Every structure is written in structure tokens, then in C-alpha cells.
Amino acid sequence: MKQVKVLGSGCKNCETTARIITEQAQQLGVEIELEKVTDMAQIMGYGVMSTPGVVVDGQVVHAGGLPSAADVVKWLAA
């Protein structure tokens, strides 16, 4: 199971990012545990200054703007 965190304030882009990740995981048949992190101190602890940020298994893989579905597939397949 992959541990995925979406870092952000809960804005529209953050919600869309979480939805894209969930949809791609379902299509790939990959089990994920998705957590939304809204605490700015925690977000900055990852070194993310631009949201939404995405952390997969403890590693920051994305920061700022919406990720593409292809990017999400790469993160989940790794």
C-alpha cells in the first residue's frame, strides 16, 4: 500500500489533485492511503512552498499546480 499525502490549504487545486490520485490508483488497482495535510507548519516541514504538494511514501514528488494523470501513474507504479 502506498502512503500518499496531498499538501495544501484545501483549495480547489488541492481537492482536484486528491481526486486525480484516487482515480488513477483505482484504474491501476493500486491500494493507497490518502491523507490531506492542511497544517502549514507540516507542509513547510516537507520543504514545499507552493501547493498543492504531493508526498508518496515519504518523498516529495510534486509541488505547485495540478499534476498530470501521467505523472500520478509514474508515482504510483514506482
Active site residues: 11, 14
Phi-psi region of 3 (alpha: psi -120 to 50; beta: other; left: phi over 0): beta
Whole-angstrom Cα Rg for the chain: 11
What the block records as the C-alpha cell of 72 is: 500520478
